[in-house]
A and B are shown apart, each in its own frame.
Chain A
Amino acid sequence: MSDHYEPVIVGFLCNWCSYRAADLAGTSRIKYAPNMRAIRVMCSGRVDPQFVLTAFINGADGVLIAGCHPGECHYVNGNIKTMRRFLLLKKTLTQWGIEDERVQLLWASASEGIHLAEKVNAMTEELRALGPLRWHEKVLGENGKVPVAVKEA
């Protein structure tokens, strides 16, 4: 078993812009890293920092929060609150020793499939460079499991 590490990214995508962007990326057959697993929320403003931490404790290597561009939020300014939380969360996570690359914020309108795809590619590479987070195993050192997505060479 060659332990080849594939980062796992949880993506919180807002229903109106970024989730549709991901749909568009697919519809236009843009091929990008399969490492992001999307959770649809109505607005990026729904993303509770507890979700981000829960993603990490459950083995995610990174979290991508994506919403509409400021001024284009379908709920007027939900994404502004997202930005406020994101920045404070990031400052806190830095104290946790969690690298900035692991939690990222993206504005992607429904027409920006390619933009979203590129972001996922970029983030995947950044996380690959950082190596796995796998909190339980590497930080708490409990109930550790072997990294996933093992590929035959």
Chain B
Amino acid sequence: MTESGKPKLAMYWGASCGGCEISVINIHEHILVVDEIFDIVFFPCIADFKYHHVESYPDKHIDVCLFNGAIRNSENEEMAHLLRKKSKVLVAYGSCAYEGCIPALSNLTTKDATFNKVYFDNPSIDNPDRILPQTSTDMPEGTLTLPTFYHTVKSLDQVVDVDYYLPGCPPEPPQIWAVLQVIVGGLLEGKPLPPAGAIVGAGTTALCDECEREIQEKSIDRFYRPYQLDPDPDQCLLEQGIICMGIATRSGCGALCPTVGMGCRGCYGPPEGVIDQGAKMLSAIASVINAGDETMEDDELEHVIQEVIDTIPDPAGTFYRFSMAHSILRRVKNGKGDS
């Protein structure tokens, strides 16, 4: 609310877990610098600003708005439009805003099925009257309203224009700090800003670039889920049959998961130039399945390959864990089109 010449920073959450806010705090002592160089004008998680404050700001009042979380309901969308209007630079912050992330996994099912799971068919729920949230409920005191729950989770850029994307679930502190510096440099010192629509705070190639494991030619006999195998500490996980999304995931995190023996989940999204992370991952690992050769009869061929494929229980959920909303098809069929 102060009116110093400092650039104004906002951060808001759509459908998210809160991890992104923590990640900002997680830039350690830099947060003090952030506080020093920015005026925080909207940041529900750490400062008490209300909707009407934002409404009251003139357009483009906010210099940088970090928007995290996906677009799950009408409130998310409304805030996205509002903050777009009020911000000079709108950053899709974190995987949810960028490509849907975990919330968008519900695009693998329907709104009804989701409600059913959340409000009825669920061991921790006791809802004998089968009450569902209503968008508006009349009470003696007046009418209560709730936002509309969308059938399809969307990424931020599917509802408003986005200037930059900062991938990661959540983004890595060093990257966050680097991005903030660049943007500030641009806003205050007129330094060149990255081109609009750029993905910042990450590399361009795939994660293998940063991975310390030994990489060999690949030929995979079968796939294992993490609990099924104690992986060799030095060899590429994928070569051992553990699905590691690293080959189809943008670098930038420093290969944290593979380093500790867990296959990359893919939270940084696809590398530069890849349209659909899941499809590419699928194509790549299917290509190196070590089953079937040209001497086999068609049936045998299909059989031996299918056997290996059957060791991947949930391809969609695995390959599109973070990028579902941003994938080419965005959601699964069945269920009527609403938005």
Contacts and interface: CB of A to CB of B under 8 A. Distances in A.
A and B touch in their complex, CB below 8 angstroms: yes
A92 B316 contact: yes
A138 interface: yes
A56 B329 CA distance: 8
B328 A83 contact: no
Q: How big is chain B's contact interface, by range?
A: 35 or more
A127 interface: no
Contacts of B282: 49, 85, 88-89, 92
A141 B279 contact: no
B286 interface: yes
B315 A92 contact: yes
B135 interface: no
B331 A70 contact: no
Interface residues of A, number: 39
Contacts of A79: 294
Looking at chain A's contact residues, the main secondary structure is helix
Nearest to A79: B294
B293 A91 contact: no
A75 to B, nearest CB: 10
Nearest to A71: B294
B330 interface: yes
Nearest to B110: A97
Interface string A35-72: 00000000000001110111011000000000001110
Interface stretch (B74-82, B201-209, B295-303): B295-303
- Which of B280, B309, B339 is the most central at the interface, judged by chain A CB atoms within 10 Å of its CB? B309
Contact of A135 (B306, B309, B319, B329): B329
Nearest to A84: B286
Contacts of B283: 48-50, 85, 89
A123 B109 CA distance: 28
Interface string B305-317: 1100100101111
Given A57-B328, A140-B330, A83 B302 contact: yes
Nearest to B317: A95
A19 to B, nearest CB: 20
B189 interface: no
A141 B337 contact: yes
Nearest to B152: A140
Given A84-B286, A84-B291, A88-B312, 5 more contacts: A48-B279, A80-B301, A91-B309, A98-B333, A139-B333
Interface of B: 108, 152, 275-276, 278-280, 282-283, 285-287, 289, 291-296, 298, 301-302, 305-306, 309, 312, 314-317, 319, 327-334, 336-339
21 contacts: A49-B282, A53-B279, A56-B328, A57-B329, A77-B294, A80-B293, A84-B289, A84-B292, A84-B309, A85-B286, A87-B309, A88-B282, A88-B286, A89-B286, A96-B316, A97-B333, A135-B329, A138-B333, A138-B337, A139-B333, A142-B339
